[in-house]
Amino acid sequence: MLRQSCYVILFLMIMASSIVAKEKKDEKFGWDNKLVGALNMSQISFDNWAKGGENTVTWQILVTSKFEKNEKRYNWRTSTKFNFGKTKVDGFSFRKSMDEIKLETVMTYKMDSYINPYGALTVQTQFAGGYKYIDKSSKKQVSAFLDPGYFTQSTGFGIEPTKGLRTRAGLSYKQTVTSDFPKPFADDPKTEKIEKIKTEVGFESTTDFSHKLSDNLRLTSKLEMFSNLEAFDEIDVNWDNMFRARVAKYVSVNMNFRLLYDKTVSLKRQINQSLALGLTYTFI
């Protein structure tokens, strides 16, 4: 099944490469940069409320950026995402609710065709320690900054069939680095030795999609898949979706839906979803 999927992708890319690419009429050269920051906060308070309820305070900081240099023979695109937030429920201390650091840089060489070779580097980790809470007073740390850290280097071919949609696929070299928390991120349970670094060579596919649904609503989606070609059910999936609706000049609603699947970490898919209203400012 996995081989069939790879063949389908390669077939589509070969078919696309057979079409002679026409020069884009509105293609612009030079830098195109964008830096957007959002601060979201919410607070709920009860006093002598007969129906009951819990006082809560939530805050979240989200910063995304895109730095892209487009020239006739190459395109260099770097994007970042920094997302961190905490929530406090009455009777408990602040607990982490969002935590993500992601950097990606892609260099594409243009060959006057719809299919072009690329080289990419992706780094992904978190800001602060992650905990599993056993009860109100006790907790167990399960992760930290660069523990785990994911580093992926890849090369292959990519296509951009239409504006706002980019797909690339190729060979990939993935490293999972840990320090104090090798399990379950890097350690191989089949061996007696505890491994703190896991290296995998395989095949990757990344699809970026961005579309303006209306004047004030935009959808941004990124689907990443990685396979070490050992088994179909061991394909790592990272699907990140962001809906951003601007309701005023500096006020927006942000909804983030993220789905993860990594069999070595959890046999079930992981889901992280957030919906927030707050201040948004475009610096660049």
Query: What is the structure's pLDDT at 249?
Result: 86
Query: What is the structure's pLDDT at 245?
Result: 92
- Structure tokens that stand for 25 in this block: 């009429």
> Could you read off the pLDDT of 265-279 as tens digits, one per residue?
888 999 988 888 888
- Asked if CATH classification 2.40.230 holds for the domain at 2-18+28-282, the reply, yes or no, is yes
> Could you read off the pLDDT of 104-157 as tens digits, one per residue?
999 999 987 789 999 999 999 999 999 998 877 789 999 999 999 999 999 999
Query: What is the structure's pLDDT at 159?
Result: 93
In the predicted model, is pLDDT for residue 24 greater than 60?
Answer: no
Residues 6+ apart with CB under 8 A from 81: 62, 63, 64, 100, 101, 102
For 16, phi then psi, to 5°, come to: -65, -35
The mean pLDDT value for 59-88 works out to 94
For 229, phi then psi, to 5°, come to: 65, 20
Lowest mean pLDDT of 133-142, 165-174, 238-247, name the range. Answer: 133-142
The mean pLDDT value for 242-264 works out to 90
- Total H helices, total E strands in the chain: 1, 14
**CB–CB of 122/113 below 8 Å?**
no
Residue 175 CA, distance from chain mean position:
16
pLDDT above 70 covers a percentage of the chain that reads 90
Q: Domain extents for the chain?
A: 2-18+28-282
Q: pLDDT-based confidence at 19, cuts 50/70/90?
A: very low
- Structure tokens that stand for 172 in this block: 């990939």
Spatial distance between the Cα atoms of 156 and 232, rounded to a whole number of angstroms: 21
For 234, phi then psi, to 5°, come to: -110, 20
- Structure tokens that stand for 49 in this block: 């409320």
